Structure 1
Amino acid sequence: MELCRRATVISHVSKSSLVSALALVAALAGCATVKDVGLRPLYVESDLDGTFEVRLDVAYRSDPEAHPQKHRLDLFLPHRAGFPLLAFVHGGSFENGDKGVSLAGLDIYGNIGRFYAARGVGVALINYRLQPEVHWPSQVDDVARAVAWLARHQEELGGDGRLFLSGHSAGAWLVSRVALDRDLLERPGVDLAGVAGVISVSGSGFDMTDEQTWEMLGGPFSEAEWAERFDPGREWDAEGWKSAASIVPLVRPEAPPFLIVCTSRELEALQRQNRLFHRALGEAGVPSHFEVVGTDSHRRMALAMSHPDRLLPQLVLDFVSGGAAELAAAWSARAEPGDEGRAALARATRGDRFEPDPFEPDDLVGPPAAAAGSRWLSEQSYGALDGPVGGDQADGVDWQPPHEER
């Protein structure tokens, strides 16, 4: 049924159905939003079975300068109180997208909300202003304000105090920035201390000073395209805007745990950016797990977020239900790299459902001494920056991409 876009509690009757596949438009380095229709059943509609409620277009800013559509969020709240709350930010090259995007009647991001709420996780879908109307610092500020609103209201919403941030593509960059930028912590009305973990799905642009990434993307042409997004007013030289927009320099030891996920079909440059980010977090002592999943393309990872047969949603559910705390506890007892530590880590991950990468000892980031029994401590979590990309290949659904994506 058509969903009325206003702040209200609604009921929704939906059918369990498998419908036409979708693809997500890929922009530079893969910041995607919904655009075209694919040929395979990649969208599985999640039922509203009466176990949660939906509130649409809730304002997280109400001052005179608030945007009437973009300073809004949608809530999917389990009826049973005491749930973790997952804030999700859509992608779209910083220029496109909306929490309410639909294509051929399919509610892409709303389906994410329904999927997790039906499984006991509250979800907030966050809108934010888009370029070129605003510059990227304003987009970061929008997401930070939304997260702060959720932190203030999560108890009355029924949350248990655990607030997780997640985003796809450009949204992954935004939530990572919000979780790490010290300047945001000093802004009036923005309290981000309660963030329990961050889930980055197919993000990029974490270290824009990395020259190898630019070479992999195509050199000067690619840099010019990115400059339009991150320095449209030409306020900096090339090194200036790259440094200002990079997230890696913001990494701090007290940051919350991170789950970093990308697909084996990402651009090599994007895979490298995820590895750079994961390594920087590990070197700073921030609990971080890096996972390469399945065979979905970058543009379809938003669909995979709510696909019951994909590994990605299981990773998310595991992370918010205890994996983040488990990862943090293990990292609090880190050991120095060495043969004994590597052996302990190997024992801990043998037989784990995560397929590990081969060890690259020189690039290990201090495996924990007491890793036994932790599903979050595969060798891949400490893998080499330039080593082979592993990841799960049994991702539930065997499918061939449409011709244009092969």
Structure 2
Amino acid sequence: MMSRRSLLSAAALSSLAAACSPLGALNGLNTLTPGDGQVRRVVDAAAFGTDPRQTLEIWAPKGVTAKLPVIVFFYGGSWNSGSRDGYGFAAKALAAKGFVVVLPDYRLVPQVRWPAFVEDGAAAMTWVAANIAAHGGDPTRVAVMGHSAGAHIALLLALDRRWGVADTIKAAVGLAGPADFLPFVAGGAADAALGKAADLQDTQPIHFARKDAPPLLLLHGDGDTTVLPRNSQRLANAINDMGGRAEVRIYPDVGHIGILLALSKPFRGKANALTDTSNFLLAALTP
């Protein structure tokens, strides 16, 4: 649940141009840093719904001909902020590892409340199933991934069958994902986004832990004070206790934003999030 305050205070971004947004500056710095070449954006602003926020873009290795595994990446922002325009660095990093990467936007608070952003995630997944083959992706090998509030959306789509897409998701990766975070802080971002749900348990990914869940990789930093690492640990324990498969990686001295920055070239040394994600998904999505 990525607040603007936490973005601006991140030490890794303090030297970036003050006139730019933090993620915009990171994208610029990422572009100037060598590596992650031979990828391109193959789709921009494809609509999966009628609202202006219901659009997506796709990144893929250049010259892709084979049907590659697919990652649908949901960004964070406390369910009330964010745009796919800021996350090219993440899409490029994952595409360079051999994936077709989909970046959806979704509707935000205060325009909507629970469950509209999860419904948008499901609609994006439905679009992917119908269209990704035309852009080099294999619709039978699709994973979801997200950071913070985006991880919350990704995990719900993978675990809760009511959204209609769980059985099309073959693996899931959460970066600093809120999975077991009741009760909400009164007046906080989660309360504003989720607090009017008829049953608050329905907002919690851990409530839908099941033995036959797709394999999960849950990544967290031990310095995260925004979404505590116990969220990942408790969800993994619940899945594994049922006989399913969930792995946890806890990175030392990494905070809530740091684990996201670790996908970018300038800050990749902070944690092995990109390598761990790539290795896990390549194995999980092998035919």
Q: TM-score, normalised by structure 1?
A: 0.59
Number of matched residues?
A: 264
Residue 180 of structure 2 corresponds to residue 207 of structure 1: yes
Q: Partner of 2:78 in structure 1?
A: 93
CA contact (8 A) 2:39 2:92 kept: no
Q: What amino acid is the match of 1:44?
A: N
Three-state SS of the structure 1 residue aligned to 2:84 is coil
> 2 CA distance for matches of 1:229 and 1:159?
33
Quick one: structure 1 residues 34 and 73, their matched pair in 2 at CA, closer, same or farther if it must change by over 3 Å? farther
Asked whether the equivalents of residues 41 and 57 of structure 2 are also in contact (C-alpha less than 8 Å), the reply is no
1:313 aligns with 274
Q: Which residues of structure 2 form unaligned runs of 5+? A: 17-24
1:231 is aligned with what amino acid?
G
Quote the offset at 1:244 in angstroms.
Answer: 2.9
Residue in 2 aligned with 1:338? none
What is residue 20 of structure 2 aligned with on the other side?
Answer: none
Residue number in structure 2 paired with 1:39: 15
Structure number, greater radius of gyration: 1
State whether residues 142 and 169 of structure 2, in contact with CA within 8 Å, keep that contact through their aligned partners in structure 1: yes
Measured in 2, the distance between the counterparts of 1:264 and 1:199 equals 17
Residues 250, 152 of structure 1: alpha-carbon distance in 2 compared, 3 angstrom cutoff = same
Is 1:231 matched with 2:189? no
Question: Is the Cα contact below 8 Å between 1:148 and 1:192 reproduced in 2?
Answer: no
Quick one: which of 55, 59, 77 aligns to 2:60? 77
* SS in structure 1 of the partner of residue 276 of structure 2: helix
Q: Report matched runs for 1:1-400 at 5 Å.
A: 25=3, 37-39=13-15, 44-45=30-31, 49-61=37-49, 66-68=50-52, 70-78=53-61, 79-80=63-64, 81-101=66-86, 109-160=87-138, 161-185=140-164, 191-204=165-178, 206-209=179-182, 222-225=185-188, 226-232=190-196, 240-241=199-200, 243-267=201-225, 270-307=228-265, 308-309=268-269, 310-322=271-283, 324=284
Shift of 1:50: 4.2
* Structure 2 CA distance for aligned equivalents of residues 49 and 88 of structure 1: 20
Shift, 1:53, TM fit: 4.2
The 1-side partners of 2:73 and 2:39 are apart by 20
1:137-187 CA-to-partner distances (Å, cap 9, x unmatched) read 1110000110121122222221233111000000000100111112112xx
Looking at structure 2, the residues matched to 35 and 76 of structure 1 have their Cα atoms a distance apart, in angstroms, of: 29
TM-score using structure 2 length: 0.82
Whichever residue aligns with residue 14 of structure 2, its letter is G
2:146, 2:152 within 8 Å by CA — same for their partners in 1? Answer: yes
Residues in 2 aligned to 1:26 and 1:275: alpha-carbon distance in whole angstroms? 26
Amino acid in the other structure paired with 2:77: G
Aligned residue for 1:54, secondary structure, equals strand
Q: Give the number of the structure with larger relative contact order, counting CA–CA contacts within 8 Å between residues 6 or more apart.
A: 2
CA distance in 2, matches of 1:325, 1:120: 12
- Distance change in 2, residues 1:200/1:49 (3 Å): closer
RMSD, matched Cα: 2.7
Question: Contact 2:113–2:192 at 8 Å: present in 1 too?
Answer: no
Give the match's secondary structure for 1:100: helix
Identity, % of aligned pairs?
A: 24
State the Cα deviation string for residues 248-269 of structure 1 (Å, max 9, x = none).
1212222100000001211296
CA contact (8 A) 1:164 1:196 kept: yes
Other structure's SS at 1:87 match: strand
Q: Which residue pairs with 1:383 in the alignment? A: none
In the alignment, is the contact (CA less than 8 A) between 1:179 and 1:192 conserved in 2?
A: yes
User: Is the helix fraction higher in 1 or 2?
Assistant: 2
Shift of the 287–54 alpha-carbon distance from structure 1 to 2, 3 Å rule, reads same
Give unpaired runs (5+ residues) of structure 1. Answer: 1-23, 102-108, 186-190, 215-219, 327-406
